[in-house]
A and B are shown apart, each in its own frame.
Chain A
Amino acid sequence: MAEALVAIEDPAVLPDTVGVRQPRRFTVLFWIAVVWLVLIIALAVFASVLPLDSPTQVFACIPNSAPSWHHLLGCDELGRDMLSRIVFGARVSLEVGFTAVFIGLVFGGTAGLVAGYFGGKTDLIISSAMNVLLAFPALVLALAVIAFLGQSLRNVILILGLLSIAPLARLVRASTVVYAQREFVTAARMMGFRSRRILFREVLPNVMPSTLSFAIVAVAVAIVAEGALSFLGLSVRPPAPTWGNMIAEGSTYLSENAWLALCPAAVLCLTVLALNFAGDGLRSFFDVKDSAL
């Protein structure tokens, strides 16, 4: 996952914007992204109470029929409602994405805080452990673990969570190192507070904003990875819909009905794009450098 996240680190500040005080405001794109995410999340959460056909109900409508009032996104080759399949697929994608990154935040974040604050041997041990995690190509490790551990939603979440630990730990460690040397931390130490209190009350709140904006982008990476596993047929088993297995199924009917593959593909890409924009927007919002203090 680290490899994919490299791309997100932003280019240098443009020369003509350095030193210019920019108002802290979110862009229109940021709000469009947020609206899309809210929509997808709401649909996924309320999927079972929405007036939708079951995603696995075959012949709910005429196979391969075009979008209509009753079936807003049309039907697939078996007559299953596409909208329903996409909404229930969103459940899998979002559940995997958010849970995996939550695991990464809890374990990676704690490891990064401890490594960055205490330094020395502790840092060496934790950083080496993280380097071992990063020594495997992510998708290959995920494939291998799924192959040996067996194929299930729980295992997909576990392996993607494991994979998101190291990048998040590295990020948290890097910003913790910076804050651990600041005056208010020294002051707290002088006042005799215990390390745990300093870590959670002084350092953590400062590290949180950059970590959370990075975590949002990490969710996008996890969703793409789950999509890849589903596409290969190694995530949740069909007929349960996921965006990845819908793309894979649809791609066998490209010459007859390309919509079947393009529709879930578009939803997946828009969600990933929205998460990237949201993470990016939050990051520059919290970025002290940009706000010309």
Chain B
Amino acid sequence: MALLARRLVQLVGVLLVVTFFSYLLLNLLPGNVAVAVLGPNATAAGIAHVTAELHLNQPLPQRYIEWLWQVLQGNFGESYHTHEAVSTSLAQRLPVTIELLVISQILAFAFAIPLGILAALRPGGWLDNISSITAFGFLALPPYVLGVILVLIFAVSLHWFPATGYTPFLTDPGANIHDMILPSITLAVGSLAVYLRVLRAEMIATLQEDYITMAVAKGMPTWRILTRHALRPSTIALVTVAGLNVGALIGGAFLVEYIFALPGVGVLAIESIFSKDYLVVQGIVVVVAVAYVVVNFCVDLLYLFLDPRARGVQTLG
């Protein structure tokens, strides 16, 4: 419990730092922030209004605290182009991005776990060699290349899937899944390669442990040894890497949304960058960075849960 409390304090500290840096982004704007936020059509009245609303004439620490207080209440300001609250657009876009992330991770694990186990069973065997080489190749395929190739094969040539487009899940679940297949595969491939390599390496190490030899000597069936005795300790590394991978995954999701024209947070971010809708960009950065920190915090907790040693050390110390 003491450990949990310390982690929570750390989490709050990191969140404060991350939100502060997200807030500082506004200060990177050249010239007067209010003028930049309003764009070329800024009027004197508008500038005065924005300056008051963003507390721009107050010292930085105070501005940050005022802003953070608003953010904590879910108020990220409003777009100066569409006059829509940033929180409203985020709420509309987030489900698409989350769906994409979840489906891609399910796909990645569904392929990486069996392949990793089988490859580790015979290191240097044909399956191991093929999967290692493929994984190495996949690592050199960024989403914007893989996405274009998949669109070319499955949308342009074979007409199996749409190249772009999105149907909300509640409108038509079948069409929604159909639209999400290509984007999810595009995003899954990178994670798949990473997970496969990590799980394979961990499994090879685990399979050399004495208790595995013991289980073999007892005459346990191989599949049972692999799934019950070897997989569980090996998943610890897998979980850690999956947590570290989230950052790359979010970046990848932005690109995939852009390629397949999915109305997610990534496309919103890119549109807002081009229309110089700075408060929307800032809102997205805050939400994404906080989500990333919180996910990694949860992975840390999961780690404690999965690995009894991580808990044991703490009670002794």
Contact = CB atoms under 8 A, between A and B. Distances in A.
Interface in A107-122: none
A288 interface: no
A148 B25 contact: yes
A137 B288 contact: yes
A7 B148 contact: no
A255 interface: yes
Interface stretch (A72-80, A81-89, A207-215, A261-269): A261-269
Contacts of B139: 7-8, 276
A139 interface: yes
Contacts, number: 160
Interface of A: 2-4, 6-8, 10-12, 14-16, 131-132, 135-141, 143-150, 220, 224, 227-228, 231-234, 244, 247-248, 250-251, 254-255, 258, 261-262, 265, 268-269, 272-273, 276
B156 A137 contact: no
A137 B139 CA distance: 18
A260 to B, nearest CB: 10
B181 interface: no
Contact of B250 (A6, A137, A220, A276): A137
Contacts of B194: 6-7
A36 to B, nearest CB: 12
B113 interface: no
A3 B124 CA distance: 27
Given A6-B241, A11-B197, A255-B156, A247 B145 contact: yes
B140 A2 contact: no
Contact of A258 (B140, B152, B274, B276): B152
B28 A149 contact: yes
B204 A15 contact: yes
Contacts of A131: 14
Given A132-B21, A143-B270, A15 B123 contact: yes
B67 interface: no
A15 B208 contact: yes
Contacts of B244: 2-3, 6
Interface of B: 14, 17-18, 21-22, 25-26, 28-30, 123-124, 136-137, 139-145, 148-149, 151-152, 156, 163, 193-194, 197-198, 200-201, 204-205, 208, 241, 244-252, 254-255, 258-259, 269-270, 272-274, 276, 278, 281-282, 284-285, 288-289, 292-293
Given A135-B17, A228-B255, A231-B255, A254 B156 contact: yes
B289 A140 contact: yes
Nearest to B281: A147
B292 A273 contact: no
A143 B254 contact: yes
A11 B247 contact: no
- How would you classify the secondary structure of chain B's contact residues: helix, strand, loop or mixed? helix
A251 B148 contact: yes
Contact of B140 (A132, A141, A247, A276): A276
A247 to B, nearest CB: 6
Contacts of B201: 10-12
Contacts of A254: 148, 151-152, 156, 163
B250 A265 contact: no
Contact of B142 (A146, A148, A224, A232): A224
A164 B209 CA distance: 37
Contacts of A255: 156
A269 B140 contact: yes
A56 B204 CA distance: 53
B81 to A, nearest CB: 14
13 contacts: A14-B204, A132-B17, A137-B246, A137-B288, A138-B251, A145-B25, A220-B140, A228-B251, A232-B270, A251-B151, A269-B141, A269-B145, A276-B140
B259 A251 contact: yes
Nearest to B274: A233
Contacts of A14: 123-124, 204
B250 A232 contact: no
B145 A144 contact: no
A16 B247 CA distance: 36
A132 B276 CA distance: 26
A231 B146 CA distance: 13
Contact of A136 (B149, B241, B272, B289): B289
A132 B20 CA distance: 11
A248 B259 CA distance: 9
A126 to B, nearest CB: 15
Given A140-B251, A228-B142, A12 B151 contact: no
A144 B281 contact: yes
A135 B292 contact: yes
A131 B293 CA distance: 11
Given A3-B245, A12-B205, A269-B140, A135 B289 contact: yes
Given A136-B285, A268-B145, 15 more contacts: A3-B247, A15-B208, A135-B289, A136-B21, A138-B248, A139-B251, A139-B255, A141-B289, A143-B281, A145-B28, A220-B140, A232-B258, A254-B151, A254-B163, A262-B152
